[in-house]
Amino acid sequence: MSELTSRAAELDAADELATLRGRFVLEDAGDTVYLDGNSLGALPVTVPGRLDDVVRRQWGELRIRSWEESGWWTAPERIGDRIAPLVGAAPGQIVVGDSTSVNVFKALVGAVRLAGEARDEILVDATTFPTDGYIAGSAARLTGRTLRPVAPADVPAALSDRTAAVLLNHVDYRTGRLHDLPALTAAVHAAGAVAVWDLCHSAGALPVGLDEHGVDLAVGCTYKYLNGGPGSPAYLYVRRELQDRFDSPLPGWNSHAEPFGMRPDYAPAPGAVRGRVGTPDILSMLALEAALEVWDGVRIEAVRAKSLALTDFFLRCVAEYVAPGRVESLTPVRHEERGSQVALRCDDAGDAMKRLVERGVVGDFRHPDVLRFGFTPLYVGFGDVERAARVLGEVLA
């Protein structure tokens, strides 16, 4: 047994979160190492039975009565309150529904409207996930604003009295770099602008502190570290102090103050409900609600501590098992700058990832040369990490 294998066993034995792996449907340890939870989280064991009940009883037997008797109508806010502690928000500020892209559109156009007509520029993270950039471009055209891509580190210097809103990613999807949400939010506010954050790669992996840091608007998906399932609904956070002024660009009947009044004029509902649009996607939404039960009794601070320990150990193992110069880490070494993934640049990354998957190590490839490994502390252990790095070294030898 190698020194790193022994160390992995010691770390697993001391891991306070190790038993949580049993809350997920996963292969036996040693068969597959799943390091792609930053793209699609594993299936929680509670979901199949809950969906069976939703389909057979709630839909099959109760049918239309389930909107009231099974709590379908209030699910978006109820599940939003379930997500809230994971991102540092008090209840009543998050509504679940629609995709991340749709929620980015709602948040960004809403932010511009909150900022007022005198401000004519939107700043967007220049390294953002493409969809956020596409939506920001459309929002700028629709609102008559100028869009300016800026690297997150350069945002403070780019802010001015022209800035209406700033759209930033908390964690860079490609490199795993964690951006300074508190400092950047404070800088945006000092300039009189509105801060919008995309939490897709941070929610469920590390503390966010939306309320603590005064974030105005935030969006996120639920199928990564929150394990909600493929295409599970996203969410929108609207800070309580802004809710009565939040003017959604998609005023659907579900966000009306009297949704069943069928009035021709729109009057927004109070609170986070005004972030709703149309009829909720009940099947995927209730699957998400069941999935969130894996967080019962789990502290996000403990998750963050294990995440950093896992990524530290992976980088150590890679340095030991992979030939010098074969890969280059794009992920920051400093903990305060690191999310919950490690990105390695490799000339033949696409082919290497295919061979890794064939060997039972599942990560993903990002064009043109990035191997990306996501570490979900709820079900990834240190033995998984050691094995993944060892197989990577063999594949790249």
Q: Which residues are catalytic?
A: 129, 198, 223-224, 372
Q: Is residue 368 reached through a cis peptide bond, with omega within 30 degrees of 0 on the bond before it?
A: yes
Tokens standing for 101?
Answer: 């892209």
81-101 burial, b if ≥16 CB within 10 A, otherwise e? Answer: bbbbebbbbeebbbbbbbbbb
Neighbours of 309 (CB within 10 A): 17
Contact call for residues 344 and 334 (beta carbons, < 8 A): no
Tokens standing for 318?
Answer: 């890679």
- Single-letter amino acid, residue 117: E
Contact call for residues 21 and 381 (beta carbons, < 8 A): yes
CA 381 to CA 194: how far, in whole Å?
A: 39
Per DSSP, the three-state class of 148 is strand
Q: What are phi and psi of 61, to 5 degrees?
A: -105, -50
